[in-house]
Amino acid sequence: MTDNVFRSDVRAFLAESLTPDIKRAGELMTSVFADFDATMEWHRILYAKGWVAPDWPEEYGGTGWTLSQRYIFQEECKLANAPALFAMGLQMLGPMLIRYGTAEQKKYYLPRMLSGEDVWCQGYSEPGAGSDLASLITAAVRDGDDYIINGSKIWTSYAQHSNKIFCLVRTAKEGKPQAGISFILVDMDTKGLSVEPIVGLDGTVEQCQVYFDDVRVPAANLVGAENQGWDVAKSLLEFERGGHNFTIDHKKQMAKIDHQASTQRSAGGGLWKDNPVFAAKVADVAVDALALEFTELRVKGAFEAGGNAGALSSLIKVMGTEIGQRFNELSLEIMAEHAFVKQLDALVPGFEGDAIGPSCGLTTMAEYINNRAATIYGGSAEIQRDIIAKRVLHL
Among all residues, which ones are annotated catalytic? 240
Q: Are 299 and 314 contacting, i.e. CB atoms less than 8 angstroms apart? A: no
Which one of residues 259, 300, 326, 338 is an interface residue with another protein (CB under 8 A)?
A: 300
Distance of alpha carbon 330 from alpha carbon 343, whole angstroms: 21
Q: Which is nearer to another protein, 15 or 305 (CB)?
A: 305
Torsion of CA 24, 27, 28, 32, to 10 degrees: 120
Beta pairing partners, 265? 271
Spatial CB neighbours of 16, under 8 Å, sequence gap ≥ 6? none
Dump strand ranges (E) for 190-250. Answer: 193-199, 205-218, 222-223
Distance, in Å, from the CA atom of 94 to the CA atom of 110, rounded to the nearest integer, reads 7
Contact 262, 273 (CB under 8 A): yes
Total number of residues shown for the chain: 395
Q: What is the x/- site pattern for another protein, positions 309-348, by CB under 8 A?
A: ---x--x--xx-----------------------------
Distance between CA 214 and CA 187 in Å, rounded? 14
The beta-carbon contacts of 342-345 under 8 Å, at least 24 apart in sequence, are 342/203, 344/202, 344/203, 344/204
User: Looking at 167-175, 224-232, 289-297, 336-344, which segment touches another protein (CB under 8 A)?
Assistant: 289-297
Q: How far is the CB of 290 from another protein (least distance, A)?
A: 5
Stretch that binds another protein, among 80-88, 104-112, 145-153, 272-280 (CB under 8 A): 272-280
Q: Does 308 bind another protein (CB under 8 A)?
A: no
Residues binding another protein: what is the number (CB under 8 A)? Answer: 34
Q: Does 393 bind another protein (CB under 8 A)?
A: yes
Name the minimum Å distance from CB 312 to another protein: 7
Smallest gap from Cβ 32 to another protein, in A, equals 22
Q: Indicate which single residue of 137, 279, 341, 355 sits in contact with another protein (rule: CB under 8 A).
A: 279
Q: Contact, 356 vs 347, CB < 8 A?
A: no
Indicate whether 291 belongs to the interface with another protein (CB under 8 A). Answer: yes
Q: Rank residues 179 and 254 by Cβ distance to another protein and give the closer one.
A: 254
Rounded distance, CA 311 to CA 314, Å? 5
Q: Which is nearer to another protein, 55 or 75 (CB)?
A: 75
**Single-letter amino acid code for the residue at 310:** G
Question: 3-class SS at 205?
Answer: strand
Q: Which of 143, 294, 350, 359 binds another protein (CB under 8 A)?
A: 294
Which amino acid is it at 70? R
Is 282 an interacting residue with respect to another protein (CB under 8 A)?
Answer: yes
Instruction: Kindly tell me which residue out of 1, 141, 220, 287 binds another protein, with binding defined by CB under 8 A.
Output: 287
173 is a contact residue toward another protein (CB under 8 A): no
Query: Does residue 280 interact with another protein by CB under 8 A?
Result: yes
Query: Interface with another protein includes 286 (CB under 8 A)?
Result: yes
Output the smallest distance, CB 390 to another protein, in A: 8
- The Cα–Cα gap between 227 and 89 comes to 22
The contact set with another protein (CB under 8 A) reads 273, 276, 279-280, 282-284, 286-288, 290-295, 297-298, 300-301, 304, 312, 315, 318-319, 382, 385-386, 388-389, 392-395
